[in-house]
Chains A and B, each alone.
Chain A
Amino acid sequence: MAKRLKDTAIRRDRQALLVAVTVVVQAVAAVFFVADALDDVADAGVTTHIAIEGLIAFALLAGVVLGALHMRVLLAEARRREQSLSIARGALGAHVAERFRDWGLTAAESDVALFALKGCDAAEIARLRGAAAGTVRAQLSQVYAKAGVTSQAALVSLFVDDLLDWPQNAGS
């Protein structure tokens, strides 16, 4: 899950970089073009050719400004997402800790429950904690009993149910 979030962030960074490169190239092109058009005005005065060049110059410069504004929106969105995610993470952590306390889990049981929430099975938790699989299985059933559920999936869905507010509610 963390990996997927990271991949998304990398993809967004690439997208922002692409827009930025375009804006930079456009800015350089615009400056060259405007300098050249000014030279033409100095040489030949205002002609239809110049009028068209002026139009193109305007379009290029407008493109630079709009590209820069678009870039800023992309950056602001990325930042907002990062922030709300990190706020949500902090909130989820606090909420989980509070529930564990309410259920009266011991320190060891809390650890095991946290691994269970992250999707580890008993064997993996045993390996991660350097404990016997039997011990972990016993602790897990203690956790389920205290939480009032009968499976790992049900334990996870307790928190999903607490925290998930589907946008369609907010939108109405």
Chain B
Amino acid sequence: MDTTPELTTPRRWDPIVKLTHWGVVAAVIGNAILTEEGSGWHIWLGYGLAALLALRLLWGLIGPAEARFSAFPPSPARAAAHIGEIGRGEVTQHRSHNPLGALMVYAIWATLLVVCGTGIAMSGPPPADPFAQRGEHAERTAATGAQVQEEREEDEAGEERESGEGEGEESELGEVHEIAVNLLYVLIALHLAGVIFETRRSGPQIVRSILPGG
């Protein structure tokens, strides 16, 4: 008896999942094509993305049943079973992400964590003024102790590029950042392909479930 209503009402994601999803999409697109690498705005968007991701992960612990991690455990075995279903042309209703989608979701989240983590490690705290240039900012974090305050004021114009010290570590982080971002693009392409495939297989409900008002 208690399962009937769930099957008859179309499945849809709650507003937190929707808002964090489209917020992350906006931040990823913004940082990919709008902001300049390492600029103040890039860092701001990155922090915003990290916050949305953190909220979504919190929601995975305390949110409604279908948004929780326990509703879509990362399970290669179930993913394989799901591929079998696809092969046989069977369509089962999933309350949360389907097992294949679940793997994709965790992959995207892990990649986003690496991207945000390395980004924050490189940039330090968000600049008070996002119009400021990267050179000023990086230098501020590379510098130590009392120097910092002075330099912050001196470098208001922010034209100088970062100095030699600490660059090795920084460029390594930069490399990880870049590799993770490229991996993210691949995952997003696969994600979109998966959504399109699933829409053709089982109807537009899957897309409607994450759209506003859907």
Contacts and interface: CB of A to CB of B under 8 A. Distances in A.
Contact of A43 (B2, B4, B149): B149
A21 interface: yes
A98 interface: no
Interface size class for chain A? 20 to 34
Given A82-B9, A86-B4, A24 B148 contact: no
Secondary structure at chain B's binding surface: helix, strand, loop or mixed? helix
Nearest to B9: A82
Interface stretch (B28-36, B45-53, B177-185, B189-197): B45-53
Interface stretch (B55-63, B87-95, B102-110, B157-165): B55-63
B25 interface: no
A24 B4 contact: no
A69 B62 CA distance: 7
B5 A39 contact: no
A64 B57 CA distance: 13
B13 to A, nearest CB: 11
Interface stretch (B15-23, B72-80, B168-176, B200-208): B15-23
B5 A23 contact: no
By size class, the interface of chain B is 20 to 34
Nearest to B23: A24
A20 B21 CA distance: 13
B125 interface: yes
A149 interface: no
A93 to B, nearest CB: 13
A interface, over-half SS: helix
B54 interface: yes
Contacts of B19: 20-21, 24
B58 A68 contact: yes
Nearest to B16: A20
B54 A83 contact: no
A83 B2 contact: yes
B198 interface: no
A75 B4 contact: no
B5 A87 contact: yes
B11 to A, nearest CB: 12
Contacts of A86: 4-5, 8-9
Nearest to A79: B64
A128 interface: no
Contacts of B59: 68
Contacts of A87: 1, 4-5
A44 to B, nearest CB: 9
A72 interface: yes
B47 A35 contact: yes
Nearest to B1: A87
A140 interface: no
A35 B125 contact: yes
A107 to B, nearest CB: 26
Interface of B: 1-2, 4-6, 8-9, 14-16, 19-20, 23, 47-48, 50-52, 54-55, 58-59, 62-64, 120, 124-126, 128, 148-149
The 5 closest A-B pairs by CB, nearest first: A20-B15, A39-B125, A31-B51, A27-B55, A28-B51
17 contacts: A17-B15, A20-B19, A24-B19, A32-B126, A35-B47, A35-B120, A36-B125, A36-B126, A39-B125, A68-B63, A72-B62, A72-B64, A79-B64, A82-B5, A83-B5, A86-B8, A87-B4
